[in-house]
Amino acid sequence: MRRKVRRGGGGGEGTAVSALAPQSTSSSSQSSSASSSPASAASSVRVNTEKLDSLMDVVGELVIVQSQLQESARGAVGGTAGGAAGGDGSPLTRNLAQLGRITKELQRTAMALRMVPIKPMFQRIGRVVRDLSRECDKRVRFTTSGDETEIDRTVVEEIVDPLVHMVRNAVDHGLEPSEARVAAGKDAVGKISLGAAHEGSTLVIELRDDGRGLDLEKILAKARKQGLVAGDARLAPEEITSLIFLPGFSTADKVTSVSGRGVGMDVVRRNIERLGGHITIESAAGAGSTFRIRLPLTTAIIDGLLVRVGPDHFILPSTSVRMALRPVRASLASIQAREGRREALDHRGKILPLHRLHRRFGIVDAVEDPTAGIVVIVENGDRAYALLVDELVNKQEVVVKNLGGFLQNLPGAAGVAGGAILGDGNIALILDPASLYAA
> Please, how many CA atoms are within 13 Å of residue 368, restricted to the half-sphere of its CB?
2
Task: Give me the CATH number covering residue 125.
Answer: 3.30.565.10
pLDDT at 389 over 50: yes
- Asked if 324 and 177 sit in the same domain, the reply is no
pLDDT score recorded for residue 183 = 92
Who wins on pLDDT, 402 or 269?
269
Confidence band (pLDDT; 50, 70, 90) for 22? very low
Q: Do 184 and 58 share a domain, yes or no?
A: yes
Residues 255 and 308 in one domain: no
Supply the pLDDT for residue 406: 67
Whether residue 263 sits in one domain with residue 141 = yes
Nearest by Cα to 380 from 266, 294, 268, 315: 294
User: Are residue 205 and residue 161 in the same domain, yes or no?
Assistant: yes
Last residue of a domain, one of 299, 330, 361: 299
* pLDDT top residue among 237 and 35: 237
Final residue belonging to a domain, choices 276, 299, 322: 299
User: pLDDT-based confidence at 41, cuts 50/70/90?
Assistant: low
Among 37-41, 145-149, 160-164, 178-182, the range scoring the smallest mean pLDDT is 37-41
User: Is 403 within a domain?
Assistant: yes
Q: Quickly list DSSP for 154-218.
A: HHHHHHHHHHHHHHHHIIIIISPPHHHHHHTT--SSEEEEEEEEEETTEEEEEEEE-SS---HHH
| DSSP codes of every residue in 13-32 | PPEE--SS-GGGGHHHHHHH
One domain, residues 78 and 99 = yes
Q: Is 127 or 341 the better-scoring residue by pLDDT? A: 127
Give pLDDT, residue 27. Answer: 36
Q: Which domain, by its residues, includes 378? A: 302-436
Q: Are residues 345 and 309 in the same domain?
A: yes
Q: What percent of the chain has pLDDT over 90?
A: 26
CATH number at residue 357: 2.40.50.180
How far is the C-alpha of 425 from the C-alpha of 65, rounded, in Å? 9
Residue 229 maps to a domain: no
Residue 366 forms part of a structural domain: yes
Note whether 317 and 294 are same-domain residues: no
For 21-58, letters b (16+ CB in 10 Å) and e give: eeebbeebeeeeeeeeeeeeeeeeeeeeeeeeeebbee
Distance, CA of 90 to CA of 180 (rounded, Å): 75
Residues 53, 104, single domain; the answer is yes
Residue 41 lies in a domain: no
Higher-confidence residue: 15 or 428?
A: 428
Within-domain flag for 34? no
Q: Are residues 288 and 322 in the same domain?
A: no
**Contact at 8 Å (CB) between 302 and 318?**
yes
Instruction: Name the average pLDDT for the chain.
Output: 79
Does 33 fall in a domain? no
Output 107 or 428, whichever has higher pLDDT: 428
Do residues 11 and 56 both lie within one domain? yes
pLDDT at residue 290, as a whole number:
94
Count: domains in the chain: 2
Residues 125 and 147 in one domain: yes
